Amino acid sequence: MAPHEPLDWKNIFAKVQKHVPLATPTAKPDGAAKPDRAATLRAETGRLTHLDAEAARQIVSHFARPVNVVNGEADYNLADPIVATSHGRLSVDPLPPPVGDLSPANREAIGHYGVHLYLDGLLHLPLSVARELSRHRGHLYLDAIRTITDAVAAELGQHRGGGLSLNNLRHLSTAASRSLAQHEGELSLDRIPSLNPCHAIELSQHASSLYLGQLAGLSSLCAAALAQHRGTLFLNGLADLSGPVARHLARHAGQLHLHAVSMLSEEAAEALSLRQGYLCLKGVCQLPPPQAKWLCLHRGPLFLGGLFAINDATADWLGTHVGSLEIRVSDTITHEQLIQLTKHKGPLRLNGLHTLSVEQARILAAQNGFAGLTLNDLKHLSPAAAGILSRHAGGGLWLDGLTNLSEELASQLVKHPLLSLNGIESVSDSVARILSTHAGGTLSLRRLRGVSDAGFRQLCSHPDIELPTPSSRTIVANRR
C-alpha cells in the first residue's frame, strides 16, 4: 500500500463480514472446523506496510469502541465487525478525545472495549504515526519494526489500555528503554539480543509483564537490575543459568519464567531455593535428587512441566515442597512415587497422565489437605477408577481433559463435591439428568455447547452448576 493511500474501510468491512460470522456461532458437530474469528481482520490490517498520520488516525478511530451501561451492565455491540472479529477486553478507562465515536450516545461511556490491533506489516514508524497509534486503547502489535527513535519510544510509552508488542526491535537506547518502561501494559521485546546494565535498570521500572525472550546470556549486574522489576518477567531465551545470576533473579518479586533452562546446576537450584513466588522452569527435562533437594525449599507456585521422568528420591523431595506444584509425570509412574507426590502441601497438578488405573485413583483420592488436584491430561477414565476418585477429599478435582461422558462415568464423578469438567462440550439428556443431581459444592461445565433444551433446563435448575454464559455481549461492570 502506498504511504498516503486512504484506507478503504468499506472494502475491509465487506471482506470481514463475508468471511467471518458476526453472530455467536451455534454448536457444531464433532470434527467441524471452527472459524478463526480474528484471522480476517488481522490479515487486513497486517497487510499495511506504510501509514501516514491521517491513515493512523483513521485506524485508531475505527477501532475505538465505547462501552456504555445498559440495565446495569457494560454493553457493546457484538454485530460490530471490529468487535466480532477481534479479541479484546473491557477497560473502564475513559476514551480520550478525539479518539472514537463521541456522539451524544457515547459521551457517557464508562470505558472502552480494547480490541487487538495488528499492524505486523508496518515497516517504518514516523513520529507522527506513533503519536496517533499511541491513542489506541487495546493491544498494539508492531512486530515488523526493527528500529525506533527516542522520540517515537516516548510516544509509545504513553500507550494505554493494552499491551505493546515490538518483537522485531534489535536495539534500544537507554532513553528509549526509559520511555518504554513507562508503558502501563505488557511490553514484549522478544528480539532484543542483549542488555547492558543501563538498559536493564531502565526496563526494571516497568510495572507489568516484560518479555525479553531473545536474551541468551545475562550478566550479574543486569540480573541484579531486572530483579527490581515489579511485574511478570519472561526470560525465555536464557538457557545457561549461573549461580550468581540465579541468586539475583531469585529476589524478583513477580512471576519469573525461565523456559529455556533445560539442565539446572546444583548451584543454581540452591540459589532459587531462596525464592518466594511463582517460578516456571518448564524447559527442565531432568531433575536429579540434589537439585530437587534444593528446589523443594522454594516457597510458592513451582512449574516443572517439561520433565521426562522422575526417580523415587526426586519424588520424595518434591513431596515436601510447600506451594502449588505443577509437574509432568508419565503413565508408568510408580505407585511409591505417586504416594510421595500426593504428600505435597499445596495444589497439585500432574501433567502427562492420560489414563488412570484403579490403584492410581486410590492413591490420588487420598491426597492430603484441601489444596486441590488437577489431572487435565487425563483422556480416559474407567467408571471403576472414577468411583474411587470421586471420594477424593483434598479440595477441587479438575478433569478438564475428558471430552466424553457416558452415563456410567457421570454417575460416579457426580459424587465429587468440587468438580471441573470443562472439556465436555456435549451431553445426552440422560447424562444431563445425572449431572443435575450433583450435590455439595460446584460442578463446572464451562465449555458445554451441545445439549438439548430439556437437558439445559435440567442443568440450569441446579444453582451450583457453572454453565457457559448465555451471551458474550455483556460484561458485568461497576460504573465509575
pLDDT in tens, 24-38: 333 333 443 444 445
pLDDT more than 70, % of the chain: 83
Residue 178 has pLDDT above 60, yes or no: yes
**pLDDT of 82-132, one tens digit each?**
776 677 777 766 666 555 444 555 556 667 777 889 999 999 999 999 999
Q: How many angstroms separate the Cα of 89 from the Cα of each of 76, 86, 161, 477? A: 11, 10, 9, 12
Predicted pLDDT at 94: 63
Contacts of 222 (CB under 8 A, 6+ apart): 195, 196, 197, 199, 200
pLDDT (tens digit per residue) in 328-353: 998 889 999 999 999 998 999 999 99
User: Is 376 strand, coil or helix?
Assistant: coil
Backbone angles phi and psi of 181, in degrees to 5: -65, -20
Q: Which of 131, 139, 99 lies closest to 115 in space, CA to CA?
A: 139
What does the alpha-carbon distance between residue 391 and residue 373 come to, in Å, rounded to a whole number? 12
> What pairs with residue 70 in β-bridges?
73
The lowest-confidence range among 4-18, 144-158, 326-340, 384-398 is: 4-18
The residues near 36 (Cβ < 8 Å, ≥ 6 apart) are none
pLDDT at 479 exceeding the cut of 50: no
* Predicted pLDDT of residue 245: 97
**Mean per-residue pLDDT, 45-57:** 89
d(CA 139, CA 131): 15
Backbone angles phi, psi at 451, to 5 degrees: -155, 140
How does DSSP assign 101-167, residue by residue?
--SGGGTT--EEEEE-EE-TT-----HHHHHHHTT--S-EE-TT-----HHHHHHHTT--SS-EE-T
Burial 272-305 (b: 16+ CB within 10 A, else e): bbebebbbbbbbbeebeebbbbbbbbbbbbbbbb
pLDDT: which is higher, 270 or 42: 270
116: Cβ–Cβ under 8 A, 6 or more apart, which residues? Answer: 38, 42, 86, 87, 88, 138, 139, 141, 162
Alpha carbon 310 to its chain centroid, in Å, reads 27
Residue 210: band (very low, low, confident or very high) from pLDDT cuts 50, 70, 90: very high
**Which pLDDT score, from 0 to 100, does residue 331 have?**
85
Q: What pTM value is reported for the model?
A: 0.85
Contacts (Cβ under 8 Å, ≥6 apart) of 454: 429, 432
| Model confidence at 21: pLDDT above 80 | no
Query: Which of 40-49, 78-87, 138-147, 312-321 has the least mean pLDDT?
Result: 78-87
pLDDT at site 137 = 87
User: Could you tell me which residue, 4 or 442, shows the higher pLDDT?
Assistant: 442
pLDDT at 10: 62
- Decide: 399 and 381 in contact? Cβ < 8 Å: yes
- Alpha-carbon torsion 188, 189, 195, 197, what sign? negative
At residue 61 the predicted structure's pLDDT band, cuts being 50, 70 and 90, is confident
Is a pLDDT exceeding 80 seen at residue 369?
Answer: no
Residue 107 has what pLDDT? 57
Instruction: Find where cell 522422575 sits.
Output: 310
Q: How confident is the model at residue 5 (pLDDT cuts 50, 70, 90)?
A: low
Q: Is the pLDDT of residue 265 over 90?
A: yes
pLDDT-based confidence at 18, cuts 50/70/90?
Answer: low
Q: In order of start, what are the domains of the chain with their CATH numbers?
A: 1-22+36-145 (no CATH), 355-470 (3.80.10.10)
The larger pLDDT score, comparing residue 235 to residue 111, is at: 235
What share of the chain has pLDDT > 90, as a percent?
A: 66
Whether the pLDDT of residue 303 is over 50: the answer is yes
